[in-house]
Amino acid sequence: MADMKAKKKGQENSRWQRFIHADGVSVFFAMIVVAILFEIILQVMRGGGGGLIFLTPANLASILRQQLYVGIIAFGMTLVMITGEIDLSVGYQLTMLCSICALFMIKTNNAFVGIVGTIGIGILCGFVNGWLVSYLRLNSFITTLGMSSVYSALALMVSAGTVLVIPNDCSPAFQWFGTAKFGPISILIVWFIIVAVVLGFILSRTVYGQQMYIIGSNPIAAKFSGIHYKRNKLIAYMIVGACCGLAAVVMMANVKSSNPQSSSGTEMEVILCVVLGGCAVTGGKGSVWGTIIGVLFYGVLNTGFTMMNLTEYMRWIIMGLIMVLVLSMDVLQERGVKLWKKKA
Amino acid sequence: MEEKGVKKEAAAAENAVDLKKIQRVRFLKDNNSILILVALLFVAFIGVDGFTGSWYNVALYSAEYGICCLGLALVMICGNIDLSVGYNAAFCGVMFVITFNHIYNSTGNSALGIIVGLIVALITGGVLGAFNGVIITKVGVSPLIATIATNYIYEGLVMNFAKTSFAPVNKDAITPIAKYQIFGLRWLTPMVIIFLLFVLGTYLWMHYTRYGNRLHIVGDNPEAAEYAGISVSKTAFTTFVLCGIMAGMTGFMMVAFSGAAIYTQGTTLGTFPISCVIIGGVKMTGGKGTAVHVLLGVLIMRTVSTMMSTMFWSTNRVNLVTGLLLIAVLIADRFTSTKSADE
Amino acid sequence: MSRGDIFIELDDIVKVFPGVRALDGVSIKIAEGKVHALCGENGAGKSTLIKVMTGVHARDGGDYRIDGKTVNFKSTKEAIDAGVSCVYQELSIAPQLDVAKNLFIGNLPMKGHIIDHKTLYEKSEEILKFLEMDISPHMIAGDLSVGQQQMIEIGRALTRNARLIIMDEPTSSLSEAETDTLFKVIKTLVEDRNMAIIYISHKLDEVMELADWITVIRDGKNIISKAKTDFTQAELVKNMIGRPLENLYMKEPAEITDTMLEVNHLTRDGVFDDISFKVRKGEVVGFFGLVGAGRSEIMRAIFGVDKYNSGEVILDGKKLKGGDPAKAIENGIGFCTEDRKKEGLALKISILSNMTLVKLKALSHGGVVDRVAQRRAADKYMKSISIKAPSVNQLVGNLSGGNQQKVVVAKWLLMDPKVLIVDEPTRGIDVGSKSEIYSILSDLAKQGMAIIVVSSEVEEIMGVCDKVITIAEGKKTGEMAITPELTREHILSCALGTETDFSAETDGEKKEEVKENG
């Protein structure tokens, strides 16, 4: 009798644990805890009594809105990081693509050229990165860091170092891309959801997606199973490029001015989102669902620290420390699993 | 039977010739950076107008950033990497200026300010380097992603303290370190001498001391090192601390050279040291390279950038070339490596 | 101390790994100035014993005394300082350092706090001369041949004032001339310098030539230990194999029909040479040889992971293009690799994904995976080969070795291969899982699959196979049908290269050719 009870409890326990260990669930709870903490801290800082400060619907909506561009790129980055590689050039890729998009629109005022051209060039950037990394087998970190400075230079060259402004009376089709509204829902959120669904579908439901996990987890096993790991990695990089292109188009349609000097640090935001969402830097682990949570978590942190009146630079320091912490926990957890196995 | 013996001898002779040839090829392969430098200087002096008047900049700029390249090389010889070295140096520069100003304002003694400031800068660099070292060698995070994260932290630190440009109150006391021309030679300033001393010191340390000698073994074959009783993690940790200290020295040099701690200097430093170190002949996979290789690498990269600035190229073009150069260097490293990187 | 005095004693050494008693009371006495050979089959416990002696592993029981004093080495460094040095089977050369620094690794000659380069290179020269190597100590180790690197490793032990040098398969990568030199060196060390050598080798003629004393270990126990003069080679083989064949894994007869896989004159320079054989439907062919004989390399070449220089692979009448595993899989070759964690499985991923990996294309429509079909396929094999896990969503990393192995087998069964190659299918798994895997193989043969089993256990080969092909040093040395008359000694002798037997070879022409070569 007691045995059965214990067994039942064990089962429940394991079901609970499985739930907790599912992608993003624990991060989701952590996010809620952090949001509540921010609420408490802000209440204390501002003397309280004025009702909710942080957890208001308006504030939460703005958190989501701020993170949309980063989020779109983060979904693409999830694919690359699952294969165990990285793309550090997304920040300047975005900058460059924004300038190119603006240039296209100023020169042609043709929505088709602006949109397809920008995304096409994004895919081309991804192709170059991916080819260097997968076919020439260069180190992805340093290669994409090098490509980063190439893209930043190209951004400045394309725009001659000036801020390019798309005229307000430009092609309405192009404007629709960034400003349309479906009832109360901005098109930005629709893009975010579309990219998440498409890439989520690719990752979890397609042959290609399932092979990505094997490539990241054990490239040698992938080779022995006849998977074209080089080609698959290349495609992942091209997807990131396409995501950058889309983000650039949406951003330009919305903001209408490109600053070739900006965007340093975007790659860090993107990577932090992906890592927070439970993607292992060593590859083989992660999901789009996790990244969604990561993006939201990052938004909560960013907004929270801003509302606490921390300077941008203070936020960088804290974000960096959080990243180090997450990475360390990942490694220690992996080691811990091994230790536990040895004992068993 | 006899025939066999003769054959054997002939084979041995052939073998000896082969080995000599291998050795010669190896020497050229390992020291190709000197050929690159000579060829580059030849092109620069013949082909670039005005280089004869500006070549001393190669020495000055090399000395400014060279020391942190040296530190990075130590880390890379051990098989790791430090991408945070740029902002580490920038932050040390900021710390130097803060300390210097504080002491100068309270005592009016600039010599004391420089000494204490320098010590603070070196300690700061060492601490930041040790922070990298702990995360990488003790916890076990991959050095690439770890130092990208810490780079972000150090960048935040620089911005937080420096806002825009951060000048020492009495910069005339400091700039002679970088600008005073010994014997009236434009390329020979105390800064250049300090850099050469660092190169020499590092070379001697790695060549003549037991600890310095470990670096190559640890980078080349960590397992063999452990079997021979050498602690891999301890050695790697030491290189991170040394790299930090050298970044501290670079921070000080940057202030001396430009007269202020400029926040963008971290960005300028971004990938530059990696290019220098690899082009000089240090391998990404570790286990190869000396201080002299780093010196050559820095000179090569600085010759290229001086050529470009002599030709009045815009920064964009310079950035473009630096990025492409890094990729080219990586490809060259990939195809000349004795160790295969994967599978 | 004089020649023949015992200075190292190991008493009843026990070493337990999770699930295995690797050493179960081994005792050895080492005398100065003698060569002590250690013999045993793969997995008998020799490597573990060395690792206990050199401080890599701590012992779990027994006593280890040097000069009568009990020692507890916590690192290899301590063992080296106490005079116990080892030349490991895997190379531990630093390929980018020069020869001198490789020789004196961790032990550089010093003058005060400064490295004495002059002595370093002078002493290195001396050692190289002693080893009869005609190379400069300034050469980079990575530029040397594998044999030369091996000699440098042996030279390394000489720089450490070792009293005992353990050599684990030192001749596996040496040429004949180098082997001769090594033997000369060993004799000088023993006779002139009064050193003790522990010599481990599969090559019994070497053992018989060199050793003064021979110890045979088997299943972690020492079986017999006596002077070489009291041994004959036959007796040695018999003691290494030991226990009588257990008929645990007898294969049920299957109908053998047409030729499925034909390999002709397959050669990869320096790895294997002129390998030809045929596998028919319903036939299980065993590949037996010592570790490093080139068995796995042949399989890798057939599968296309490695390239080969000449020869051809014909599958079901169609010639296969080499060097492309994807093509091999498409044509119906499955390959369960030797090292399942390194080459076979993605440990961070679920059983489901691992199992259906090579079948994924067939389980999908236009690139989209049919999850129901995927799940059904995986569930079917979970049941049919009884993988013990709560669900197919379990991560493979959390399974036991035996179950992991079954996942690998299932992965290849799912694609319905025409030819299945299994490399060391039962390494490191428990007895229960072993016999289950054997019965799976037997069933598959009955269904008409052609199967190749690579193994270094004679019992396994004799129990599961219809035919055995022996490989020694990259060459085929035998092909015989498994009959009740076939003895283990005979198979082992062929694998050691001391005998040849092509009685079961189907191709008459081929037979003569090999004999000529031999």
Nearest CA in chain C to A228: C326
Residue C115 three-state SS: strand
Position with higher pLDDT, A76 vs C383: A76
The phi and psi torsions of B137 (rounded to 5 degrees) equal: -90, -30
Q: What is the pLDDT of residue B127?
A: 97
Whole-angstrom distance, CA of residue C357 vs CA of residue B57: 59
pLDDT digits (tens, 9 = 90+) for A138-152: 999 889 989 988 998
CATH 3.40.50.300 is the classification of domain C6-241: yes
Taking an 8 Å cut-off on Cβ atoms, the answer to whether B225 and C106 are in contact is yes
Q: What are the sequence ranges of the domains in chain C?
A: 6-241, 252-332+417-517, 342-416
List of chain A residues whose C-beta atoms are within 8 Å of the C-beta of residue B150: 320, 324
Position with higher pLDDT, A2 vs A71: A71
Q: What is the pLDDT of residue A162?
A: 87
Amino acid identity of A266? T
Whole-angstrom distance, CA of residue B136 vs CA of residue B148: 12
Whole-angstrom distance, CA of residue B66 vs CA of residue B200: 13
Q: What are the sequence ranges of the domains in chain B?
A: 33-335
Closest partner residue to A214 among C335, C346, C369, by Cβ? Answer: C346
Q: What is the pLDDT of residue B340?
A: 43
Taking an 8 Å cut-off on Cβ atoms, the answer to whether A222 and C346 are in contact is yes
Whole-angstrom distance, CA of residue C26 vs CA of residue C275: 39
Amino acid identity of C239? N
Question: Can you point out the beta strands (E) in B13-154?
Answer: none
Strands C35-39 and C196-200: parallel
Closest partner residue to B319 among A145, A153, A319, by Cβ? Answer: A153
Whole-angstrom distance, CA of residue C98 vs CA of residue C135: 11
Best A14, A218, A223, A227 member to test C by mutation, with max C CBs in 10 Å, is A218
List of chain A residues whose C-beta atoms are within 8 Å of the C-beta of residue C371: 205
Whole-angstrom distance, CA of residue B171 vs CA of residue B165: 13
Taking an 8 Å cut-off on Cβ atoms, the answer to whether C360 and A285 are in contact is no
Q: What is the pLDDT of residue A339?
A: 38
Whole-angstrom distance, CA of residue C19 vs CA of residue C15: 11
Best B87, B153, B154, B272 member to test A by mutation, with max A CBs in 10 Å, is B153
C80 touches chain B (CB under 8 A): yes
Chain B: residues touching A (Cβ < 8 Å): 81, 83, 135, 139-142, 144-146, 148-153, 155-157, 159-160, 267, 270-271, 274, 284, 314-320, 322-324, 326-327, 330-331, 334, 341-343
**Euclidean distance between the first and the last CA atom of chain B, given in angstroms as a whole number:** 45
Tokens of A198: 């498409």
Say what percent of chain C tops pLDDT 70. Answer: 93
**How would residue A8 be classed by pLDDT, with cut points 50, 70 and 90?**
very low
Domain extent at residue A214: 61-263
C168 close to C197: Cβ distance less than 8 angstroms: no
Whole-angstrom distance, CA of residue C440 vs CA of residue A120: 52
Residues in contact with B221: Cβ distance below 8 Å, sequence separation at least 6, in sequence order: B287, C92, C93, C94, C95
Tokens of C413: 């069964």
Cα C437 from chain centre: 21
B339 touches chain C (CB under 8 A): yes
Tokens of B165: 């440009």
List of chain A residues whose C-beta atoms are within 8 Å of the C-beta of residue B157: 313, 317
Q: What is the pLDDT of residue C494?
A: 86
List of chain A residues whose C-beta atoms are within 8 Å of the C-beta of residue C364: 206-207
Residue C110 three-state SS: strand
Q: What is the pLDDT of residue C454?
A: 92
Nearest CA in chain C to A216: C346
Residue C87 three-state SS: strand
List the 117-156 stretch of C: residues with Cβ below 8 A of B.
117, 134-136, 138-140, 142-143
C26 close to C45: Cβ distance less than 8 angstroms: yes
B60 close to B123: Cβ distance less than 8 angstroms: no
Taking an 8 Å cut-off on Cβ atoms, the answer to whether A342 and C348 are in contact is no
Q: What is the pLDDT of residue B10?
A: 56
Stated pTM of the model: 0.85
Nearest one of A193, A192, A296 to A251, comparing CA atoms: A192
Taking an 8 Å cut-off on Cβ atoms, the answer to whether A145 and B83 are in contact is yes
Measure the CA angle with vertex C358, ends C355 and C359; round to 5°.
Answer: 85
Taking an 8 Å cut-off on Cβ atoms, the answer to whether B317 and A157 are in contact is yes
B174 close to B114: Cβ distance less than 8 angstroms: yes
List of chain C residues whose C-beta atoms are within 8 Å of the C-beta of residue A226: 325-330, 358
Taking an 8 Å cut-off on Cβ atoms, the answer to whether A324 and B135 are in contact is yes
How confident is the prediction along chain B (343 residues), in pLDDT tens digits per residue?
444 455 555 555 566 667 778 778 778 777 888 888 999 899 888 888 888 888 888 999 999 889 999 999 999 999 999 999 999 999 999 999 999 999 998 988 889 999 999 999 999 999 999 999 999 999 989 998 999 899 989 988 988 887 666 777 777 888 888 888 888 888 889 999 999 999 999 999 999 998 999 999 999 999 888 888 888 999 999 999 999 999 999 999 999 998 888 777 666 666 788 889 998 989 888 888 999 999 999 999 999 888 888 887 877 788 888 889 889 888 888 877 654 433 3
List of chain A residues whose C-beta atoms are within 8 Å of the C-beta of residue B159: 312-313, 316
Q: What is the pLDDT of residue B269?
A: 62
DSSP C472: E
Q: Over 90: is that where the pLDDT of A291 sits?
A: yes
Taking an 8 Å cut-off on Cβ atoms, the answer to whether B288 and C76 are in contact is no
Taking an 8 Å cut-off on Cβ atoms, the answer to whether C139 and B220 are in contact is no
Best A7, A82, A201, A207 member to test C by mutation, with max C CBs in 10 Å, is A207
Q: Write down which chains contact chain C via at least 3 CB pairs under 8 A.
A: A, B
In a domain, A255, yes or no: yes
Taking an 8 Å cut-off on Cβ atoms, the answer to whether C346 and A208 are in contact is no
φ/ψ bin of C297: left (φ > 0), alpha (ψ from -120 to 50), beta (otherwise)? alpha
Q: Enter the ipTM.
A: 0.83
Chain mean pLDDT for chain C:
84
B198 close to C79: Cβ distance less than 8 angstroms: no
CATH of domain B33-335: 1.10.3470
Whole-angstrom distance, CA of residue C262 vs CA of residue B228: 48
**How would residue A2 be classed by pLDDT, with cut points 50, 70 and 90?**
very low
Long-range interactions of B334-338: CB distance < 8 A, separation 24+: B334/A136, B334/A137, B334/A138, B334/B284, B336/B29, B337/B283, B337/B284, B337/B285, B338/C95, B338/C96, B338/C140, B338/C142
Q: Within 13 Å, how many C-alpha atoms sit on residue B191's CB side?
A: 33
Taking an 8 Å cut-off on Cβ atoms, the answer to whether C348 and A284 are in contact is yes
Shortest CA gap C135–chain B (Å): 7
List the 173-192 stretch of C: residues with Cβ below 8 A of B.
177
pLDDT digits (tens, 9 = 90+) for C418-464: 999 998 887 767 667 777 888 888 888 988 899 999 987 787 888 88
In a domain, A306, yes or no: no
Chain A: residues touching C (Cβ < 8 Å): 14, 205-208, 210-211, 213-214, 217-218, 220-228, 280, 284-285, 337, 342, 344
Q: What is the pLDDT of residue A273?
A: 92
Tokens of A191: 């893009």
C317 touches chain A (CB under 8 A): no
Nearest CA in chain C to B216: C97
Q: What is the pLDDT of residue B11?
A: 55
Cα B245 from chain centre: 12
Sign of the C-alpha dihedral computed for residues A110, A113, A116 and A118 taken in this order: negative
Q: What is the mean pLDDT of residues C100-112?
A: 88
Shortest CA gap A105–chain C (Å): 36
Closest partner residue to B320 among A141, A154, A323, by Cβ? Answer: A154
Q: Over 60: is that where the pLDDT of A30 sits?
A: yes
Q: Do domains C6-241 and C252-332+417-517 have the same CATH topology?
A: yes
pLDDT digits (tens, 9 = 90+) for C489-514: 888 888 887 778 887 776 544 444 44
List the 64-83 stretch of B: residues with Cβ below 8 A of C.
none
Q: What is the mean pLDDT of residues C322-342?
A: 87
Taking an 8 Å cut-off on Cβ atoms, the answer to whether C113 and B220 are in contact is no
Q: What is the DSSP string of C455-469?
A: ES-HHHHHHH-SEEE
Measure the CA angle with vertex C413, ends C441 and C453; round to 5°.
Answer: 40
CATH 3.40.50.300 is the classification of domain C252-332+417-517: yes
